[in-house]
């Protein structure tokens, strides 16, 4: 189920390419966040009354990190192969895991991940290198993912169940709104664009969430986390099949190193 969730998520990201030329990456991510927030609000019905002066900064931080993470990764996948962008983004939770574990072995996994990113950076014989702006956005998405993880933990203490996520999605949509409207304009109201936006929202939010929730009930936490580390490989496969984004041997090796480092870091943290 974890692999299926990742497959659905990355397929949704690949589908987003269909409207990049009409509404841009920011228009696509705005539709995803807006429709996802509506779906989550309908399903989980969060209570606005639960928001207080004390927990307001938490929900704002959670929502802003969620929105910024999505905005940055969509800008990255508009400029980089899907597998490469997702691999760089994975550095966020990997580095966070290493820092929180406070183990010397974490330096080894961080070094291994760095080696993987260097291989991805375009040193292969058949490439002129990656788009530096795309890499910068992917790294920003990695930072926002790490912050999102920290804020989600805090939100989990302040809000029951999934109410924190539903409220944060609204904040994220509001953050993306001005950029999305400026990028997409009236094209955002086109029925075809709205249909693709709804499909992206369902495939990137509703379905993966349901699959991951079911997986957490069946799998140990460490097994779940290690399987999540396979996301770059799945993204690379989806990018190749759906978008024709072939990778060279060094880029594939780079993705493999980051996956190995992430899985090892998670395993090391679980054993500490």
Q: What is the mean pLDDT of the chain?
A: 84
CA-atom Rg of the chain in angstroms: 18
Q: What is the pLDDT of residues 207-259, one digit of tens each?
A: 787 676 566 566 655 566 666 777 888 888 888 889 888 878 887 888 888 88
Q: What is the DSSP letter of 161?
A: T
193-216: average pLDDT:
81
Question: What share of the chain in percent tops pLDDT 90?
Answer: 35
Which region among 55-64, 89-98, 146-155 has the lowest average model confidence (pLDDT)? 89-98
For 146, phi then psi, to 5°, come to -60, -45
Q: How far apart are CA 30 and CA 67, in angstroms?
A: 9
User: Which band of pLDDT confidence, cut at 50, 70 and 90, is reported for residue 31?
Assistant: very high
Q: What is the pLDDT of residues 95-145, one digit of tens each?
A: 887 777 777 777 787 788 778 877 776 544 444 568 889 999 999 999 998
- What pLDDT sits at residue 127? 46
The more confidently predicted of residues 109 and 202 is: 202
Which region among 51-55, 57-61, 70-74, 111-115 has the lowest average model confidence (pLDDT)? 111-115
Q: Which pTM was predicted?
A: 0.85
Q: What is the pLDDT of residues 247-263, one digit of tens each?
A: 788 878 888 888 887 77
- What pLDDT sits at residue 224? 60
- What pLDDT sits at residue 126? 45
What one-character-per-residue DSSP string does 90-129 give? Answer: THHHHHHHHHHHT-THHHHHHHHHHHHHHHHTT-STT---
What one-character-per-residue DSSP string does 15-51 give? Answer: HHHHHHHHHHHHHHHHHHHHHHHHHHHHHH---GGG-
Q: How far apart are CA 91 and CA 82, in angstroms?
A: 15
Task: Please check the confidence at residue 85 and state whether its pLDDT lies above 80.
Answer: yes
């Amino acid at each position: 189920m974890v692999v299926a969730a990742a497959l659905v998520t990355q397929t949704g990201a690949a589908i987003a390419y269909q409207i990049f030329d009409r509404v841009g990456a920011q228009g696509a991510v705005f539709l995803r966040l807006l429709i996802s927030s509506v779906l989550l609000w309908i399903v989980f019905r969060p209570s606005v009354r639960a928001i207080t002066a004390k927990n307001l900064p938490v929900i704002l931080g959670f929502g802003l990190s969620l929105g910024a993470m999505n905005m940055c990764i969509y800008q990255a996948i508009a400029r980089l192969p899907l597998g490469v962008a997702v691999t760089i983004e994975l550095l966020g939770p990997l580095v966070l895991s290493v820092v929180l574990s406070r183990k010397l072995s974490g330096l080894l996994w961080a070094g291994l991940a760095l080696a993987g990113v260097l291989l991805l950076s375009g040193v292969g014989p058949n490439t002129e290198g990656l788009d530096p702006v795309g890499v910068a956005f992917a790294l920003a998405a990695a930072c926002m993912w790490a912050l999102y993880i920290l804020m989600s933990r805090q939100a989990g203490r302040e809000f029951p169940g999934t109410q924190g996520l539903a409220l944060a999605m609204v904040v994220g949509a509001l953050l993306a709104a001005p950029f999305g409207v400026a990028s997409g304009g009236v094209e955002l109201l086109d029925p075809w664009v709205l249909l693709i936006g709804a499909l992206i929202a369902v495939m990137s939010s509703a379905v993966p969430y349901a699959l991951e929730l079911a997986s957490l009930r069946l799998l140990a936490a460490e097994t779940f986390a290690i399987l999540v580390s396979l996301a770059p490989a799945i993204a690379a496969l989806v990018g190749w099949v759906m978008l024709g984004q072939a990778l060279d041997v060094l880029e594939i090796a780079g993705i493999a190193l980051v996956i190995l480092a992430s899985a090892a870091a998670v395993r090391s943290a679980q054993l500490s």
